[in-house]
Amino acid sequence: MTAANENGMLLIGATGYLGSLVTAGFLCDGQRVVAPLRGSNTREGLIKQIKEDLIAEDINPEIDYDRLVTVSLPPVNEIPDMATQLKDLGVNEIVHCAGSVDYFDAKKLKEVNIDLTSSLIELGKRLNAKRFVYLSTAFCSGFVDGLVREILHNTPPADPTEYTKSKREAEALVNNCGLPFLIVRPSIVIGDSRKGYYSGKAYGLYQFWAAFEKFICGHSRSVLHFMAPMVKLHMIHQDAFKAGFVAACKNLPDNSILHLTSRYETLPTVREVVKQWAGLWDVSEVHYYQDPSEVPPTGIDRRNRMWLDFTSVNNDIAAHPWQFQTATLDQLRTAGLKFRDVTLDTVRVCQDNFVAQSQRAQTFLRKNRDQLTSRTQASESKTLISAVS
């Protein structure tokens, strides 16, 4: 049993997708994690989630769960009052992985991404925390031209969403709080690099796939239209995210900012990812567009149009020619970080896993294959009759 007064970190958002990966990474590294839980979340549920992620990565899930301590998370304005309790538990660092990813609900984004961060900063001051670690996003720079540097960002000409704006504002709070800090900015997180396992919600690339499943699968069509610009799609596998986050916390100096994304050279373009997806569906005609202005106003199937509209925000983000400075990640790689970059082949692994888990996609594929077989047999029969004649 771990001593109650052993130093540890307070990890906010441990039951979320990325937070649970970080929790698993710290526990595997032998560190002690205090995880505040709220609502229906339980310690047993969190451990189950961690075990599933570790099994998916072929890691022995029977790690030392005595190092995981759970406490009740109070309302946001009462969080600073946890200081005495957390001091008794040996907490000397805060790792903030919670956040709202709603694109446009400004009120909710303020409550979760701004107000919660402010409350945790006050808690950190009362704890005299040795460091405040904040999970942000690589896209918090907004739409800017040129290299996105590993520095605090000024207000850009435009933001992709209210979400990215709120993350930039939260970063400013962390930078100005007076505590040593580390800001980690991942790009789009996708499934495990080897098996494609993914336990997150349908965001990013998974929104694209899930929306296709909803609007297109089950409705026969011979023509598809895709937004597919020829720019790099910045992604990171969840196993690389976890390894990079833990390595950053262990090795980077105070007041560092880290972009977590794959090497630019290995990343596929949006066009390549979309063509790989389109190749699954056995349709006779596919149209790819570089820019939304190229999409014709008429002549597109209603459900295809609905799908394009539903994914328009992510399409706009993907169409921007992002370039991220990765000097800090390069330093971690040089120091021994094992980090598997995203390639078109590893995206295919994640894609295949998604399709394998989708009953609707499987049904659609079978129907398409049956129709293709029928057309082929009819064509062969017609050819044979002509030859006999």
Is residue 2's pLDDT more than 60? no
* More confidently predicted of 179 and 315: 179
Same domain, 169 and 69: yes
Q: What domain count does the chain have? A: 2
pTM for this prediction: 0.91
Q: Of residues 361 and 340, which shows the higher confidence score?
A: 340
Give all strands of the β-sheet with 181-186 in edge-to-edge order: 68-72, 33-37, 8-12, 91-96, 132-135, 181-186, 256-260
19 and 135 in a common domain: yes
pLDDT in tens, 200-240: 999 999 999 999 999 988 776 788 999 999 999 999 999 99
pLDDT band at 388, cuts 50/70/90? Answer: very low
**The pLDDT value given to residue 105:** 84
Q: What is the pLDDT of residue 101?
A: 82
> Is the domain of 93 the same as that of 218?
no
How many beta carbons lie within 10 A of that of residue 123, not counting itself? 21
161 and 214: one domain? no
pLDDT score, position 378? 39
Lowest-pLDDT range, 181-190, 267-276, 366-375?
366-375
Q: Is 123 helix (H, G, I), strand (E, B) or coil?
A: helix
Nearest Cα to Cα of residue 348 among 276, 262, 275, 294: 276
Give the CATH number of the domain where residue 62 resides. Answer: 3.40.50.720
pLDDT for 148 equals: 97
Mean pLDDT, residues 311-340 taken together: 94
Shared-domain flag, residues 158 and 31? yes
Helix (H, G, I), strand (E, B), or coil: what is residue 47?
A: helix
Task: Name the token pair of 245.
Answer: 């986050």
Asked if residue 256 belongs to a domain, the reply is: no
* Same-domain check for residues 69 and 213: no
Same domain, 145 and 214: no
Residue 255 maps to a domain: no
Here the contacts of 349-352 (C-beta below 8 Å, separation 24 or greater) are 349/191, 349/193, 349/194, 349/195, 349/196, 350/190, 350/191, 350/192, 350/196, 350/198, 350/205, 350/237, 351/196, 351/209, 351/276, 351/277, 351/280, 352/196
Q: Please say which residue of 158, 186, 214 terminates a domain.
A: 186
- Whole domain around residue 277: which residue ranges? 205-233+268-321+345-378
Strand ranges inside the chain, DSSP E: 8-12, 33-37, 68-72, 91-96, 132-135, 181-186, 188-190, 223-227, 235-237, 256-260, 285-289
Is pLDDT of 382 > 80? no
Residue 152 burial by CB count (10 A; 0-12/13-18/19+): exposed, middle or buried? middle
Q: Do residue 179 and residue 216 come from a single domain? A: no
* pLDDT tens sequence across 267-313: 999 999 999 999 988 888 999 999 888 999 898 999 999 999 999 98
Q: 255 is written with which tokens?
A: 């007041």
316, 355: one domain: yes
Q: Which residue has the higher pLDDT, 6 or 318?
A: 318
pLDDT of 381: 38
> Residue 167 and residue 160: Cα distance in Å, rounded?
12
* Mean predicted lDDT score pLDDT of the chain: 90
User: For position 377, what pLDDT does the model report?
Assistant: 40
